[in-house]
Amino acid sequence: MTTTVIKGGTVVTADLTYKADVLIEGGKIVDIGPGLKGDKTLDAEGCYVMPGGIDPHTHLSMPFMGTYSADDFEAGTRGGLAGGTTMVVDFALPNPGESLLSGLQKWDNKAGRACCDYSFHMAITWWSEQVFDEMKAITERGINTFKHFMAYKGSLMVNDEEMFASFKRCRELGAIPLVHAENGDIVASMSAKLLAEGNTGPEGHAYSRPSQVEGEATNRAIMIADMAGVPLYVVHTSCEESHEAIRRAKLAGKRVWGEPLIQHLTLDESEYFDKDWDHSARRVMSPPFRNKQHQDSLWAGLASGTLSCVATDHCAFTTEQKRYGVGDFTKIPNGTGGLEERMPMLWTYGVRTGRITMNEFVAVTSTNIAKILNVYPKKGAVLIGADADLVVWDPEKSKTISAKSQQSSIDYNVFEGKEVTGLPRYTLTRGFVAVNDGAIETREGYGEFVARDPMGPVSKALSTWKALTEPRPIPRAGIPASGV
Ligand code: URP
Ligand code: ZN
Ligand code: ZN
Ligand code: ZN
């Protein structure tokens, strides 16, 4: 078997920074240290050698709001690799009433085109005995995370009773529930009022989803998870109210993680007040972009560790698709891209500004989520035996983000014109060099499904603690426990 050595770089992991070469054979890291030799050499002089990024939140070719998200697994993962991301976790989304297994089959078929490794979260879009039963089969297929939409009333939303039932099932299975935390009833009511009053433009989307709807839903999901005895992962945490609920829960010993998106960290609500309808509609996503105070809260969460992972929620729609919502903002397909931009944007606005360290960058783009998903250290690590999913990061390489040069198939980029410094020189997916000195040489269909076992360390610990502290009868002399 041929070997590849990454030579002359500085290894940066979630907790260490040191000079070393990295030797790769058969898609795995086989040695780390000084003076290594291989059949092929990748020059990492002046670069950082880091675990490839893991994006835990994508929607590739997803049927949504009357259309399909425009980037498929090929384009999406090609963009990811171009930006240093080597694994994506996409949401398998059965229709309400549909079997989870048939939903999963559709995602299996689509993901066959992926250029890098991938995994799935399974969405719970309805509740029944069949769903309860199939959740077990899904965990046996290597999916240990179940997503719940508290928004999108009338389509994907589940109510508290359904969520509580599903969370309890997650606990039994050693799985982790995820929530899209926005109060869907309030959003629906506010949207109807705004439309009736003539607020039909994309700014109405932001008005209909204030930070309170997110804060309320986040807190509710946290309390429901606590009562079900299960950890909780809150996707796309965008505001202080939601962060506050997560922070408070963490300090109280609850096992909760929050996931800000690179869009919410770097783009703000003024985008919705642009005079150009297309400009604003292209940025419509849920939750919407927020003001600077919310952004500061998210950055503080990354620095302090109260927020854990930076994702993209990559769900790209063309301008033509966005125009379905002319005259009614509730019909604008929700979603924005970001797979290619997440790592360079976070490096530029996070590491280069001193808001986070390089090691924190690795933690929030890769290692933390690998641990939460129970795939560490196969993924998210620079260790002997780990998959050679690596990025050789050139901290001085710059570009201006533009739709003209992007991998995504849509006709615009929400980060258009942003200057980024810090880009991959090489991106390796299980040892295969998919970005080669800046050139994109991805292979469609190279990606493999990453199975994830249930009962990761946090699920196991919490389950033990909840079993110890759960309600139990008090034995009393002369009083039988079960009546006479
Ligand atoms: O607006 C968004 N976020 N679109 C994708 C679906 C979701 O809610 O995550
Ligand atoms: Zn969502
Ligand atoms: Zn514009
Ligand atoms: Zn999403």
Ligand 1 centre from 388 Cα, in Å? Answer: 31
For residue 388, tell me if it sits in a domain. Answer: no
Residue nearest to atom 2 of ligand 1 (CA): 335
Residue 297 has pLDDT above 80, yes or no: yes
Residue 15: predicted pLDDT: 97
Q: Which domain holds residue 337?
A: 52-380+449-463
Choice from 285, 289, 329 to test ligand 1 binding pocket (greatest atom count within 8 A of CB): 285
Q: How does residue 479 score in pLDDT terms, banded at 50, 70 and 90?
A: confident
- Checking if the pLDDT of 393 tops 60, the result is yes
On whether the CB atoms of residues 280 and 203 are closer than 8 A, the answer is yes
**Residue 202 CB partners (closer than 8 Å, separation 6+):** 272, 277, 280, 281, 283, 284, 325, 329, 332
Q: Quick check: is 396 in a domain?
A: no
Q: Which ligand is nearest to the CA of 271?
A: 3
> Does 484 have pLDDT greater than 60?
no
Q: Residue 483: pLDDT above 70?
A: no
Average pLDDT over residues 304-332: 98
Q: Where are the alpha helices (DSSP H) in 229-366?
A: 240-251, 262-266, 277-281, 292-304, 319-322, 342-346, 358-362
Average of per-residue pLDDT values in the chain = 98
**Total-model pTM:** 0.98
Per-residue burial over 154-169, b if 16 or more Cβ lie within 10 Å, else e, is eebbbeeebbbbbbbb
Percentage of the chain exceeding pLDDT 70: 100
If you search the block for the tokens 């689509």, which residue do you land on?
Answer: 110
Cα 342 to ligand 3 centre (Å): 20
Q: For Cα atoms 361, 365, 366, give the angle at the middle one, nearest 5 degrees.
A: 110
Asked if residue 261 has pLDDT above 60, the reply is: yes
The secondary structure of 50-87, three-state, reads EECEEEEEECCCCEECCEECCCCHHHHHHHHHHCCEEE
- Omega before residue 424 within 30° of 0, cis: no
Other beta carbons within 10 Å of 239: 26
Which percentage of the chain shows pLDDT scores above 90? 98
Cα-to-centroid distance, 63 and ligand 2 (Å): 14
Kindly state whether residue 400 falls inside one of the protein's structural domains: no
Candidates 202, 482, 460, 474; CA nearest to 330 is 202
Point out the ligand nearest to the CA of residue 414. Answer: 3
Q: How far is the CA of 421 from the centre of ligand 3 (A)?
A: 23
Q: How far is the CA of 330 from the centre of ligand 3 (A)?
A: 21
In a domain, 409, yes or no: no
6 inside domain: no
Closest atom of ligand 1 to CA, residue 334: 1
- Give residue 43's identity as a one-letter amino acid code: D
pLDDT in tens, 157-173: 999 999 999 999 999 99
Residue of the CA atom closest to atom 9 of ligand 1: 313
Beta-bridged to residue 178, according to DSSP, are 147, 233
pLDDT at 131 over 80: yes
In the chain, what is the greatest distance between 2 CA atoms, to the nearest angstrom? 81
Any domain includes 72 = yes
The rounded Å distance from CA 314 to ligand 4 centre is 7
Could you list which residues have their CB under 5 Å from ion ligand 2?
180
Position 125 confidence tier, pLDDT thresholds 50, 70, 90: very high
What is the phi/psi pair of residue 176, to 5°? -115, 125
Residue 108 structure tokens? 């299996």
Q: Which residues contact 206 (CB under 8 A, 6 or more apart)?
A: 269, 272, 288, 289
Residue nearest to atom 3 of ligand 1 (CA): 286
Give me the CATH number covering residue 61. 3.20.20.140
Rounded to whole angstroms, the Cα distance separating 484 from 479 reads: 9
Please state the rounded mean pLDDT for residues 189-209: 98
pLDDT recorded at residue 481: 72
**Domains held by the chain: number:** 1
Q: CA 299, CA 361: separation in Å to the nearest integer? A: 12
Rounded to the nearest 10 degrees, the angle between the axes of helix 211-228 and helix 184-196 is 160
- Ligand number nearest to the C-alpha of 333: 1
* pLDDT one-digit tens code per residue, 25-80: 999 999 999 999 999 999 999 999 999 999 999 999 999 999 999 999 999 999 99
Let me know if residue 436 belongs to a domain: no
Residue 285 alpha carbon, nearest atom of ligand 1: 1
Single-letter code of the amino acid located at 200? T
Nearest 5 degrees, angle CA 391-CA 429-CA 454? 105
Q: Whose CA is nearest to atom 7 of ligand 1?
A: 286
Pocket of ligand 1 (CB under 6 A): 59, 180, 285-286, 313, 315, 334-335
Place of tokens 């008005």: 207
Nearest CA to ligand 1 atom 8: 286
- Interval 216-232: pLDDT, tens: 999 999 999 999 999 99
Ligand 1 atom at shortest distance from the alpha carbon of 69: 5
Q: In a 3-state reduction of DSSP, which class is residue 282? A: coil
Chain centroid to CA 367: how far?
Answer: 13
Range in 171-175, 363-367, 448-452, 478-482 with the lowest mean pLDDT: 478-482
Please check the confidence at residue 189 and state whether its pLDDT lies above 70.
yes
Q: Which residues contact 231 (CB under 8 A, 6 or more apart)?
A: 176, 177, 225, 255, 256, 257, 458, 459, 462
Distance CA 5, CA 37 (A): 6
pLDDT digits (tens, 9 = 90+) for 398-423: 999 999 999 999 999 999 999 999 99
Report how far ligand 1's centroid is from the alpha carbon of 387 (Å). 30
Q: Is residue 123 part of a domain?
A: yes
Ligand showing the shortest atom-to-Cα distance for residue 180: 2
Cβ distance 47 to 10 under 8 Å?
Answer: yes
C-alpha 387 to ligand 3 mean position (Å): 41
Say whether pLDDT at 87 is over 60. Answer: yes
Under 8 Å between Cβ of 225 and 22: no
Q: At what angle do helices 240-251 and 211-228 cross, to 10 degrees?
A: 20
